[in-house]
Amino acid sequence: MTTALEAALAHVDAHLDQSVERLKTLVAIKSISTDPAYAGEVRRAADWLAAEIGALGFAASVRATPGHPVVIGHDQSAPGPHVLFYAHYDVQPVDPLNLWNTDPFTATLVTGADGEQQIVGRGTSDDKGQLLTFVEACRAWKAANGGLPLKVSLIFEGEEEIGGKSLPGFLASARDELGVADIALVCDTDLWNATTPAIVTMLRGLVGEEIEITCASHDLHSGMYGNAARNPIQVLADIIASLRNPDGSVAIAGFYDDVAELPAEIAALWKRLPYDEAAFLKGAGLTTPAGEKGRSVLEQTRSRPTCEINGITGGYTGDGFKTVIPAKASAKISFRLVSGMDPAKIRAAFRRHVEDRLPPDASVSFREHGGSPAVSVPTDGPFLRKAAGALAEEWGNEAALIGSGGSIPVAGDFKRQLGLDTLLIGFAREDDRIHSPNEKYNLSSFHKGIRSWVRILAALATD
Amino acid sequence: MTTALEAALAHVDAHLDQSVERLKTLVAIKSISTDPAYAGEVRRAADWLAAEIGALGFAASVRATPGHPVVIGHDQSAPGPHVLFYAHYDVQPVDPLNLWNTDPFTATLVTGADGEQQIVGRGTSDDKGQLLTFVEACRAWKAANGGLPLKVSLIFEGEEEIGGKSLPGFLASARDELGVADIALVCDTDLWNATTPAIVTMLRGLVGEEIEITCASHDLHSGMYGNAARNPIQVLADIIASLRNPDGSVAIAGFYDDVAELPAEIAALWKRLPYDEAAFLKGAGLTTPAGEKGRSVLEQTRSRPTCEINGITGGYTGDGFKTVIPAKASAKISFRLVSGMDPAKIRAAFRRHVEDRLPPDASVSFREHGGSPAVSVPTDGPFLRKAAGALAEEWGNEAALIGSGGSIPVAGDFKRQLGLDTLLIGFAREDDRIHSPNEKYNLSSFHKGIRSWVRILAALATD
C-alpha cells in the first residue's frame, strides 16, 4: 500500500515539468527591489504569488508595507504542529547585462559543463527557485492526499536584497497572526555539496555603508589644478587601502574586539566536513585566499567578519579620456558580522576610521544601507532533529550543521518579533552565481528540494 | 585721420553683438570629440567653420584625417610676414549634466558674482570662444580696411581634447602648404589675471593611461566569497594609494629623474608676478596645496610633473546597494610632464610600478590614451617682442612670460613637423571652469581678445 508520503513524492516526480514552468513564469517578472524603476514588477510578483497559493487553497493576501509588499498564506486545516515558511521573491539587478549568455528574465534549461541540467536566469536560485520548492511540495501533498500533513503559514518578502527594512515592523504588527507557529522554515541557503544537505545554524550579520568624498567645489581641469588640488579619488583610494592590513585582516580599530574563536567541537566538525578550498576558489577563477593569513577559507567565508568594497565611482568613466579632477568620488562598502559584533559599533568604528584619515580640503558624507547582527540557531531541538532525518533520507548523507557566509536577517527578526526559532534549509549550490550574470539553479536542486520539503513536512507532522 | 588699426578696432567695438551671435551658433554644435556618438556633430562644426571663413574671403577647405577633420584657410593676398593661426573646435563631454545651471550647448549671457558679463556654455572658453577671437579680428580688418595687414593661414583641429592623434601626420603631409609660414599663433591659454595678458613659453606634456584590474572570473556574492576572494577594487585602491608619497610627491621610481629645477631668473620672475595662491585655491573651494611639500602652487601647477586619477569605476554604482565582489575595476590616470621627461619612459615606469604591486589572483591590462613631451618656446624672438608690445597696449600691463599647467602638444608638432616656433596667446581666465559644468568665457575676454589680435596682426606686419 502506498503511504501518503510516497504518494506525494510520486506526484512531485510526475509533475516536475509543470513545476519548472511555474518557475519560468515567476523568473519572467523583473522584481528588482533596489531599483525604483522596477517597483511595479515587484508588486506584480507579489500578486502572482498570492494568486498561485490562493489557487492551492491557502487563505492568501498581499500586505502593504512602507516598502515592497509581503505575501501571506495560511492553511491551518490539518492537526499537528504549525510551521511558518519564509522565502523572498525579490532579486538583484542584472547588470552587467552583456555578460549574460541568455536573457536573465527568460529561465532557460541548459546542460552544464558537469553534464547536469541547469535552470539559468536571475532569481532561479536566489530565491525564486528555492521559494517554489516549498510551494510545489505543498501542491504535491494536496494533490496526492487532499491536504497538508500539518498547519502551514507562508510569508514571502519583497525586500530581502535591499536589507529587509520593512519586515521587522510588519512582523511586529502581525505577531498574533504569525507568532502562533511553532517553528520557522527559511529556504535561502545552500546544500553542503552536490550530495550532502545542510542546515545552517550560524548566520553572519551585515552593515552597509556608502561614503562620498568631496574636495573641490566643482570638477577641475587636471592641467590647471593638478598637484595643487586635492583629488577625491586619491583620497578615497588612500582610505580604502587603509582598511586592510598586509596580513589580510581588517585594520579598523576594535573591529575584532567582540569576535570569538569557533567553539572547539564546531571547529573539529568543520575540519571533518568534505571541503576542497582549492576547488572553491577555482570555481571563481582564483587560487589564493585573500583574507586573514592562517585562517582557512571556510573560516574566512563563514565564521570571520569581512570588509568588502562593493562599488566605487568617481570622475570620468565613459569612453575615451577626460583630464578632470572631479569634485567627488564615492564607494559602497559592506561588513559581514559574526556573533557578538554590534552593527552600530562597527558602523561607528568605520566612520571614525574614515574621518581620522581625511586630509585637508576633503570632507566625507556617509549613507547607511542596512544593518543587522549575526544570528545563531540552537542545534538541539526536536524540529531540527526531524528535519535533519528527513533530509538524510532524501539525500543519502547526513545533513551538515554549518555557518553561512551570507546574511539572512529574517532569522533574527523571527526570534525577536515572533519568538520563533528558525530552521535554515536550502538547496542552492555554491556555484550558482547568485547576484552575478548567468545565475542558475540545478534542476536536481529544484527537484530534490521539492522532495526534501515533502519529506520534512511529513517528519515534522509526527510526534 | 583714422589709422587702419583704429578703424579695425572701431569695427570690433561696433559689431561685438554679431560676434557673440556667431559664438552662440558654434557652441550649439555639440562637437564632443571623445564620444563616437557625436562624430557627426564634430564634422558639422568643421563644415560651419569652413563656410564661415570662406565667406570672409579665405580659401577654405575641410581636410579628412584618420580621425576628425582639420579646417584650413588661406589669405595670402597681403605683403609682409605669414602667420599660421591654430585653435581647436572640439570640446569636452558635458557630464554631469545636472550640475549645469543652463543648457551647455546654449551659450547664455549671465552676470557673474563679480559683476562681469559671462558667456556660459561648453566650449565658450575652451576653445570655441578663443578660436573666434582671431576669426573676428580678421573679419574686422577686412571689413574696415578691405584686407588683412599680413598673410594669414588658419588651422582648426577637431581632436585636441582626445590627444590630437591625427595632427602630426596631417602636418607632415601639409608641410609645403603650411611650413611657408614664419610663425605659429595658438589661442588656447589664459590671461595672467583679469588685467595682465600672458604669453606661454613652457608647456607640459601629457601621458594618459587606463588600467583594468581583473581578479575573479565573474562577479561574486560578497557573503559567499568575502575575505577569501581577491577584490579588484581593493587592489586598485592599494595601487592608487601607492602612487603618492605622504609628502605629496609622486612615488613612481625614477619619476623625477629627468626633472630640472626652474632656471634662477625664471624662478625670480615668477616670484615677482602678482599671484595669490590662496585666491587661486579658493576659486575651487580649496585651502591647502596637495602636491609636493615646499613647492609653491605656481610650481606645482606649471613647472612640476603630476600624477592624477581622472576616473575610477568598479562594482555596483547605481542606486541602492548590491553586495557584490566585482570581477574587474578600472581607473583612468594621467601624468603631466615637464621639459626633459620622456613620455615612453614615464609610461613604462608607471606600468612597472603597477605590475610590481599586483597581489596573487590579480592581473592588469593597460590602455594607452595619448602621450606627448613638454615643449619650451624661445623667449627672445622679434615676433614675441612685437606681440608682447601689442598686448601691453591693449591691456595697459606688460605681458607675463609664463609656463602653462595644461598640455598643448600642437606647439611641439609645429616645431617638429613644420619647423615653426609658436606664440601661445590666450584670453581665458583661470576661473573659466573649462572641462567642468558651467564653463564660461568672460565677455571682456572675448571683446579684448578680438581687439588684442587686431593689434597683434598690425604689430607683426611691421618691419
Distance CA B86, CA B187 (A): 7
Mean pLDDT of A190-212: 92
Q: Mutate which of B92, B95, B227 to test chain A, going by most A C-beta atoms within 10 A?
A: B227
Least trusted range by pLDDT, from A369-373, B25-29, B153-157, B169-173: A369-373
Q: Of B372, B392, B419, which marks where a domain is finished?
A: B372
CATH number at residue B318: 3.30.70.360
Q: Which chain B residues contact residue A95 at CB under 8 A? A: 316, 318
Is residue A452 over pLDDT 70?
yes
Is residue A282 over pLDDT 80?
yes
Judged by CB atoms closer than 8 Å, whether chains meet at B93 and A316 is answered as yes
Provide the pLDDT confidence category of residue A404 given band limits of 50, 70 and 90: confident
Provide the pLDDT confidence category of residue A169 given band limits of 50, 70 and 90: very high
Mean pLDDT of B234-253: 98
Chain A residue with the nearest C-alpha to that of B327: A284
Q: Are residues B213 and B142 in the same domain?
A: no
Q: Which chain B residues contact residue A334 at CB under 8 A? A: 222, 321, 323
C-alpha angle B172-B174-B176 in degrees, rounded to nearest 5: 105
| Residue A123 grid coordinates | 532569481
Of the candidates A189, A197, A210, A203, which has an alpha carbon nearest to the alpha carbon of residue A87? A189
Q: Which chain A residues contact residue B91 at CB under 8 A? A: none
Of the candidates B57, B9, B50, which has an alpha carbon nearest to the alpha carbon of residue B26? B50
Q: Are residues B196 and B217 in the same domain?
A: no
Distance CA A16, CA A119 (A): 13
DSSP for B313-377 reads EEE--SSS---EE-SEEEEEEEEEE-TT--HHHHHHHHHHHHHHTPPTT-EEEEEEEEEE--EE-
Judged by CB atoms closer than 8 Å, whether chains meet at A222 and B334 is answered as yes
Q: Which chain B residues contact residue A360 at CB under 8 A? A: 287-288, 290
Highest mean pLDDT among A413-417, A446-450, B335-339: A446-450
Distance, C-alpha B87 to centroid of its chain = 10
Of the candidates B312, B167, B34, which has an alpha carbon nearest to the alpha carbon of residue A322? B34
Distance CA B390, CA B459 (A): 6
Per-residue model confidence (pLDDT) at position A407? 67
Q: Is residue B272 a part of any domain in this protein? A: no
Least trusted range by pLDDT, from A267-271, B51-55, B335-339: A267-271
Judged by CB atoms closer than 8 Å, whether chains meet at B286 and A215 is answered as yes
Distance CA A459, CA A389 (A): 8
Distance CA B118, CA B379 (A): 32
Q: Is residue B289 a part of any domain in this protein? A: no
Distance CA A432, CA A434 (A): 5
Q: Which chain B residues contact residue A308 at CB under 8 A? A: 222, 226-227, 231, 234, 323, 325
- One-letter amino acid of B47: D
> A412-446: per-residue pLDDT in tens?
899 989 999 999 999 999 899 999 999 999 999 99
pLDDT > 70 fraction of chain B, expressed in percent and rounded: 99
CB A22 within 8 Å of CB A139: no
Is residue A108 over pLDDT 80?
yes
Provide the pLDDT confidence category of residue A375 given band limits of 50, 70 and 90: confident
Cβ density class A274-283: b for 16+ within 10 Å, e for less: ebeeeebbeb
Under DSSP, is residue B439 helix (H, G, I), strand (E, B) or coil? coil
Q: Is residue A18 a part of any domain in this protein? A: yes
Q: How far is B306 from chain A (nearest CA, A)?
A: 6
Mean pLDDT of A388-403: 91
Residue A73 belongs to what domain range? 4-203+374-461
| Orientation angle between helical segments A382-395 and A443-461, nearest 10 degrees | 140
Per-residue model confidence (pLDDT) at position B400? 87
Provide the pLDDT confidence category of residue A1 given band limits of 50, 70 and 90: low
Q: Is residue B291 a part of any domain in this protein? A: no
Mean pLDDT of B173-194: 95
Q: Are residues A383 and A399 in the same domain?
A: yes
**Neighbouring residues of B65: CB distance < 8 A, sequence distance ≥ 6:** B159, B166, B167, B169, B170
Q: Are residues A349 and A221 in the same domain?
A: yes
The total domain count for chain B is 2
Per-residue model confidence (pLDDT) at position B341? 96
Per-residue model confidence (pLDDT) at position A267? 83
Distance CA A44, CA A49 (A): 9
Q: Are residues B56 and B93 in the same domain?
A: yes
> B299-328: per-residue pLDDT in tens?
999 889 999 999 999 999 999 889 999 999
Helical spans, DSSP H, in A188-231: 222-225
CB atoms within 10 A of CB A3: 10
- Look-up: residue for cell 602667420? B83
Per-residue model confidence (pLDDT) at position B333? 98
Burial class (CB in 10 A: 0-12, 13-18, 19+), A344: exposed
Q: How many CB pairs under 8 A join A and B?
A: 363
Q: Mutate which of B310, B313, B366 to test chain A, going by most A C-beta atoms within 10 A?
A: B310
> B31-90: per-residue pLDDT in tens?
999 999 999 999 999 999 999 999 999 999 999 999 999 999 999 999 989 999 999 999
Q: Are residues A101 and A186 in the same domain?
A: yes
Q: Is residue A278 a part of any domain in this protein? A: no
Mean pLDDT of A157-161: 96
Distance CA A460, CA A261 (A): 33
Q: Which chain B residues contact residue A328 at CB under 8 A? A: none
Least trusted range by pLDDT, from A304-318, B64-78, B192-206, B444-458: B192-206
Provide the pLDDT confidence category of residue A76 given band limits of 50, 70 and 90: very high
Strand partners, B332: B210, B311
Tell me which of B242 and B430 has the higher pLDDT.
B242
Is residue B112 over pLDDT 80?
yes
- Rounded to 5 degrees, φ, ψ at B10 are -65, -35
* Parallel/antiparallel/unpaired status of strands A220-221 and A198-203: unpaired
Q: Are residues A29 and A164 in the same domain?
A: yes
- pTM value is 0.73
Per-residue model confidence (pLDDT) at position B407? 67
Q: Are residues B48 and B140 in the same domain?
A: yes
Q: Are residues A230 and A107 in the same domain?
A: no
Under DSSP, is residue B283 helix (H, G, I), strand (E, B) or coil? coil
Q: Are residues B378 and B350 in the same domain?
A: no
Helical spans, DSSP H, in A251-380: 264-272, 277-282, 297-302, 343-356
Q: Are residues B422 and B451 in the same domain?
A: yes
Mean pLDDT of B220-236: 95
Chain A residue with the nearest C-alpha to that of B229: A290
Rg (CA), chain A: 23
ipTM at complex level: 0.73
Judged by CB atoms closer than 8 Å, whether chains meet at B285 and A217 is answered as yes
Q: Of A372, A388, A408, which marks where a domain is finished?
A: A372
Q: Is residue A298 a part of any domain in this protein? A: no
Is residue A356 over pLDDT 70?
yes
Judged by CB atoms closer than 8 Å, whether chains meet at B308 and A331 is answered as no
Q: Which chain A residues contact residue B311 at CB under 8 A? A: 233, 314-317, 322, 324, 326
Provide the pLDDT confidence category of residue A289 given band limits of 50, 70 and 90: very high
Provide the pLDDT confidence category of residue B163 given band limits of 50, 70 and 90: confident
Least trusted range by pLDDT, from A16-20, A129-133, A271-275, B40-44: A271-275
Nearest to B321 among A208, A234, A317 (CB): A208
Judged by CB atoms closer than 8 Å, whether chains meet at A287 and B34 is answered as no
CATH number at residue A184: 3.40.630.10
Q: Is residue B270 a part of any domain in this protein? A: no
| Residue B15 grid coordinates | 559689431
| Residue A460 grid coordinates | 515534522
Of the candidates B327, B98, B245, which has an alpha carbon nearest to the alpha carbon of residue A328? B98
Share the mean pLDDT of chain A: 94
Per-residue model confidence (pLDDT) at position B1? 65
* Parallel/antiparallel/unpaired status of strands B328-337 and B205-214: antiparallel
Q: Is residue B40 a part of any domain in this protein? A: yes
Q: Are residues B90 and B35 in the same domain?
A: yes
CB A167 within 8 Å of CB A67: no
| Residue B296 grid coordinates | 609653491
Judged by CB atoms closer than 8 Å, whether chains meet at B227 and A92 is answered as no
